[in-house]
Amino acid sequence: MLLGVNLEIPRGDFLALMGPSGSGKTTLLNLLAGLDRPSQGTVEIGGQRIDRMGEGQLAHWRSRHVGFVFQLYNLLPTLTAERNVELPLLLTQLSGSERKSHVATALAVVGLADRGKHYPRQLSGGQEQRVAIARAIVGDPTLLLCDEPTGDLDRKSEEEILDLLQALNRQHGKTIIMVTHNQHAAAQARRIVYLNKGQLQAERIQ
């Protein structure tokens, strides 16, 4: 539950959400994705009131504007990296050749252009998360919502993923909102917002 949270996130920001378990971080992420609806108040993104949208409108809006990155990569083990990345595009009107081009671009952005034919079991944890990020950005969303994206990685892989998120923010202009318990991960963001018991407790600009 969130209580009176008033938060403005400029386009192109990289925001880290921190706080103890149950503080409302994931709830806030779900509200921004249109997965949860506020019992009161408004959620406006890019000039659009998503809290007023119907389920069909929300699904269409998410497919165009939001990419998700989770702690667990959620890759389908029977599909290659290319096919996993392509999945969100199957809901679009893109042709097969257009989807292939988008997938190749996304894998190149995350540094896995040479791993497209590999299956998840043939990849390291860090590489699997890169594939998951490629899947999140393949539709060129403006907003990346990341829920503990480095929580299941060793330190080296964690650094690689954090570097990639910074590059997506600074070089590709993606707005990133990242839930994390990791102080080192949060330090890579431009701003850190602290939640506790559903309330905004503090904000720090890096």
- Domains, the chain, in order of start with CATH, read 14-205 (3.40.50.300)
pLDDT value, residue 92? 87
Instruction: Judge whether 168 and 177 are in contact, CB under 8 Å.
Output: no
Strands 44-45, 14-18: pairing is unpaired
Read off the DSSP letter of residue 141: -
| CA-based nearest residue to 57, from 46, 67, 49, 69 | 49
52: left (phi over 0), alpha (psi -120 to 50) or beta: alpha
pTM score of the predicted model:
0.91
Which residue matches tokens 């060793």?
154
- The dihedral through the CA atoms of 8, 9, 11, 13 has a sign that is positive
Q: List per-residue pLDDT tens for the chain, 206 residues long.
A: 888 899 999 999 999 999 998 899 999 999 999 999 999 999 999 999 999 999 999 988 998 899 999 989 999 999 999 999 999 999 888 999 999 999 999 999 999 999 999 999 999 999 999 999 999 999 999 899 999 999 989 999 999 999 999 999 999 999 999 999 999 999 999 999 999 999 988 778 87
Task: Give the number of C-alpha atoms closer than 13 A to the C-alpha of residue 86, restricted to the C-beta side.
Answer: 18
Q: What are phi and psi of 158, to 5 degrees?
A: -60, -45
List, in sequence order, the alpha helices (H) in the chain: 25-32, 55-65, 81-86, 96-109, 125-137, 155-170, 183-186
pLDDT value, residue 91? 83
pLDDT value, residue 53? 95
